[in-house]
Amino acid sequence: MSALANHAFIKMNGLGNEILILDLRDGTPLPTPEEARAIHRSGLTFDQLMTLEPGRGTDFSTTILNNDGSESAACGNGTRCIAWLLMNETGKDRLTIATKAGPLVATSGSAPHTITVDMGLPRFGWKDIPLSRDAGDARAIDFEPAPGLSAPSVVNVGNPHAIFWVDDIAAYDFATLGPKIEHDPIFPERANISLAHVTAPDALTLKVWERGAGLTRACGTAACAAAVTAARTNRTGRSVTVTLPGGPLHIQWRDDDHILMTGSIESEFEGRFDPAIFAGTAA
């Protein structure tokens, strides 16, 4: 039987970005990709499954699985969720959380249920993103996957992102285009795909097809990616509000190039896994 049978979980969301949290500090093994997919198929749906684990030279650490079982190096909205839980547990207002993308520092926001996360430094080299070839300036690469969609900005903010600048984010069949572009050979590790529209010098709207999760109401790293590339292409300044279907995130790209993401979280419910979820999965 799966070690996750009857194991406790917490369901949260960051602006509608659905996060399922497992506390594995008791030594329970990490979920397998097959187990993650089984949980999502059971009706306990999520965008990312995130674990709480002992720190690796930090306060805590986390492993992030998408709902297709693939691993993600970073999740901004999910990091805010687990930081809020851990701050309530420890009484601290500042925590460092180890991720595959590196340590992330979270601080308590000025408003209730609001957390700021230092998402680190963006990377723009084509091998860092990564791309399968040198496609030119990362501000507008040589890539046209569909009519009307071309020259996206690309950046790695813990995971790879491509941002297409458009006049109307609702004008595209993103449920069809999203997975096609995510899996294009130019992205050897796949990519998060966004449609972005600038509404003011300090504001933009965003729609995201999230790698390994699909259409999502919010994606923190995509908001960071869009904000940074908007500033790099002189579309906005370095401090912007990014509005996603789930709500707004404030992104500040500081002069030291660190990206600060601030937004709210919501705790939904707690429960335990029905052992039947894992019938047929490897023990």
Residues in the chain: 283
Q: What are phi and psi of 170, to 5 degrees?
A: -90, 0
Structure tokens at 7: 């194991």
Element (H, E) at 130: none
Q: What is the DSSP string of 33-67?
A: HHHHHHHHHTT---SEEEEEEE-SSSSEE--EEET
Alpha-carbon span 206 to 136, nearest angstrom? 24
Active site residues: 75, 219
Q: How many helices (H) and strands (E) does the chain have?
A: 4, 18
Name the 3-class secondary structure at 187: coil
User: What letter represents residue 198's amino acid?
Assistant: V
User: What letter represents residue 166's amino acid?
Assistant: V
Q: What are phi and psi of 259, to 5 degrees?
A: -105, 120
First to last CA, the chain: 5
